[in-house]
């Protein structure tokens, strides 16, 4: 059953950490997963700076695309140098590739996060419901 609105939650796991995202569309699900990742990493900003970082990912299917997208976002966050994600928008989403824009801003000074190595295929799940809503689950290697 699909949930109303868009959002994300963290999923307990014995060794790693998972995240679950949902929304009225696949775009929302990818965006929420990206925001969850940035939150987990402590790489967020509440003040948009105007620095726009294009993001591109490719995968063999929707699940692989989500993993590639999150791994690209890990790279962006790790190399951002004192900035964090203020906004994230998926501008084009196809079954095997996506394009998006990450708006960066000054990193939250008190933000502490986990060092995320990569998104994994462990228990990976992406589903689009008949009404267009979608949800996903992915585990991260920390």
Contact 91, 100 (CB under 8 A): yes
Mean pLDDT for 114-137 is: 95
69 burial (CB, 10 Å; 0-12 / 13-18 / 19+) is buried
* Domains of the chain as residue ranges with CATH: 7-141 (3.55.10.10)
Mean pLDDT for 108-113 is: 72
- pTM (two decimals): 0.89
The model's confidence at residue 1, banded by pLDDT at 50, 70 and 90, is: very low
pLDDT digit string, tens, across residues 65-104: 999 999 999 999 999 888 899 999 999 999 999 999 999 9
Residue 34, pLDDT above cutoff 50: yes
Return the closest-CA partner of residue 112 out of 10, 22, 40, 16. 40
């Amino acid at each position: 059953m699909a949930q109303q609105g868009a959002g994300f939650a963290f999923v307990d796991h014995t060794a790693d950490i998972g995240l679950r995202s949902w929304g009225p569309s696949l775009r929302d699900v990818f965006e929420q997963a990206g925001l969850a990742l940035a939150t987990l990493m402590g790489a967020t900003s509440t003040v948009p700076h105007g620095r726009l970082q294009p993001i591109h990912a490719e995968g063999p299917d929707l699940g692989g695309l989500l993993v590639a997208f999150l791994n690209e976002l890990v790279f962006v966050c790790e190399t951002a140098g004192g900035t964090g994600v203020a906004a994230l928008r998926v501008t084009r989403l196809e079954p095997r590739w996506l394009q998006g824009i990450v708006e960066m801003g000054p990193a939250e000074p008190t933000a502490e996060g986990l060092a995320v190595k990569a998104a994994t295929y462990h228990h990976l799940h992406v589903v689009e419901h008949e009404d267009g809503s979608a949800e996903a689950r992915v585990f991260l290697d920390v």
